Structure 1
Amino acid sequence: MATIDTDRAAEVRERSAPGDPAYQAFFILRAAFVVAPILFGLDKFTNLLVDWDRYLAPVLSDPLPVPPHQAMYAVGVIEVLAGLVVLLHPRLGALVVAAWLGGIIVNLLLIPGYYDVALRDFGLLLAAVALQRLSSRFDARPVLWPLRRS
Structure 2
Amino acid sequence: MTTTTHQKKSQRIPTLAEPGFQAFWALRLGFAVLPIVFGLDKFAKILTGDWTRYLANGINDLVPGDAETAMHLVGVTEIVAGLAVLVLPRLGAPLVAVWLGGIIVDLLMVGGYGDVALRDFGLMAAALVLTRLAWAYPNGLPRQAPGRGI
- Whether these two folds match at TM > 0.5 is yes
CA distance in 1, matches of 2:36, 2:9: 30
Q: Shift of the alpha carbon at 1:99?
A: 0.6
CA distance in 2, matches of 1:131, 1:63: 30
SS of corresponding position for 2:32: helix
SS of corresponding position for 2:17: coil
SS of corresponding position for 1:61: helix
Greater Rg, structure 1 or structure 2?
2
- The residue that corresponds to 2:98 in the other structure is 99
CA distance in 2, matches of 1:24, 1:120: 23
- The residue that corresponds to 2:23 in the other structure is 25
- Structure 2 unaligned spans of 5+: 1-6, 141-150
1:72 aligns with 2:53: no
With the length of structure 2 as denominator, give the TM-score of the two structures. Answer: 0.83
CA distance in 2, matches of 1:135, 1:64: 32
Q: Shift of the alpha carbon at 1:62?
A: 3.2
CA distance in 1, matches of 2:137, 2:9: 10
Spell out structure 1 runs of 4+ moving beyond 4 A: 6-9
Q: Shift of the alpha carbon at 1:111?
A: 1.1
CA distance in 2, matches of 1:18, 1:140: 13
Query: Conserved in 2, the CA contact under 8 Å of 1:9 and 1:140?
Result: no
- The residue that corresponds to 1:146 in the other structure is none
SS of corresponding position for 1:45: helix
CA distance in 2, matches of 1:62, 1:44: 19
Query: Conserved in 2, the CA contact under 8 Å of 1:30 and 1:131?
Result: yes
Q: Report the residue type matching 1:39 in the other structure.
A: V
SS of corresponding position for 2:44: coil
Q: Report the residue type matching 1:104 in the other structure.
A: I
- The residue that corresponds to 1:109 in the other structure is 108
Query: Conserved in 2, the CA contact under 8 Å of 1:40 and 1:76?
Result: yes
Q: Report the residue type matching 1:42 in the other structure.
A: L
CA distance in 2, matches of 1:33, 1:102: 15
SS of corresponding position for 1:74: helix
With the length of structure 1 as denominator, give the TM-score of the two structures. Answer: 0.83
- Structure 1 unaligned spans of 5+: 1-5, 142-150
- The residue that corresponds to 1:83 in the other structure is 82
